[in-house]
Every structure is written in C-alpha cells, then in structure tokens.
Amino acid sequence: MRTPDSPGVVRVDAGATLENERSIPVPFEVEHPYTSVAALFLTPRPPRPYSIVFCVGAVPSEVADPQPDTTRMFNPRDFRLAEQTTFCSPQHTI
C-alpha cells in the first residue's frame, strides 16, 4: 500500500489556478507520531460507508517567496495564519 502524500504548501499566484490529484487508501489508518497516545483521544471510526469531506486552506504569505527547510516544512511565521480561508468539497460517501 502506498503512503499518501503529506500535506504541503504550494504557492499559487493571484489569478493562477492549481490542479492536483490526491489518493487516500481505504480503510483509513491513523498516521500520527504519537499514535498510541493519540488513539486515546480519537473518536473511533464508524463502520463503512464513510462520509468524507476534503478541505484545503489558503493563507497569504508574509514573505515574497517562502521556502521550506530541509525537512520540507515551512515556517508558520512566514504566513498570516489568522487570515486562512478554507475551501471544502461536498460530502461524499465511500
């Protein structure tokens, strides 16, 4: 089974569009650095079918061309996170 791509940051210039395809393996699995601890706080998944919604957040950047560090992570201070806009798909059943 292929590991899904990690969420990331992509720069999209004003007026430009972005098209991308993501796949997520089913059945869903918890991927968390502290899975054993996180599992204590997560609501158990209901049996299939699953109702899902896919969301993407957009934030303005504080710097002209933010760059990730060596671990591919961006510095949160490079973005105005309080101004995030979230776009979500309609609910789907799988």
Q: What pLDDT shows up at residue 90? A: 94
Domain that holds residue 54: 1-94
CA dihedral 67, 73, 76, 82 (to 10 degrees): 100
Record the pTM.
0.53
Is 29 a residue whose pLDDT tops 80?
no
List pLDDT tens digits, range 35-84.
Answer: 677 667 777 777 788 888 888 888 888 777 777 777 767 777 788 888 88
- At 1, is the pLDDT very low, low, confident or very high (cuts 50, 70, 90)? very low
Provide the number of structural domains found in the chain.
Answer: 1
CA dihedral 68, 33, 27, 93 (to 10 degrees): -60
Q: What pLDDT shows up at residue 31? A: 66
Q: What pLDDT shows up at residue 16? A: 87
